[in-house]
Amino acid sequence: MGVSVLAGGKRAINGAELARCFSEGLGRTIRYQSLDLDQFELSIDQAIGPGVGKRISAIFRFIERHPDDLEFLARPFVQPAQMPAFEATDVTKWVAGHKAAYSMMPAPQAANA
């Protein structure tokens, strides 16, 4: 809390790949579900706290409004000297290492078809 960290990884992954990494790391099936940005904000607010969803979704809204300005997402991560260190790790290994935190989370309710 109170610290901004520019986080990046060695490779970009999409939602389905992220769900696969979580599934492997947790030893149970995790499903990726795309949400529109308003739903995404509400979900983040419910999980983390009011107002957080808007702050997180700001980057996605920027991308939506500026599709020709995506080069900054494709650049390799470089740790800025003035920022706290961030060590990129394998997603599956990270999730497995934090399995206890995820076991405390209730399973999402199935959406009505």
Confidence of residue 14 (pLDDT cuts 50, 70, 90): confident
**Does residue 48 belong to any structural domain of this protein?**
yes
Task: Check whether 1 has a pLDDT greater than 50.
Answer: no
**Does residue 105 belong to any structural domain of this protein?**
no
**Does residue 28 belong to any structural domain of this protein?**
yes
Instruction: Give CA–CA dist 22/12, Å, rounded.
Output: 15
Tokens of 96: 């497995």
pLDDT of amino acid 98:
85
pTM of the model: 0.60
Query: CB under 8 Å to 4, separation ≥6 — which residues?
Result: 83
Tokens of 85: 């260190």
pLDDT of amino acid 11:
66
Instruction: Give CA–CA dist 106/113, Å, rounded.
Output: 21
Instruction: Give CA–CA dist 112/51, Å, rounded.
Output: 27
Which structural domain range is residue 21 located in? 15-75+90-100
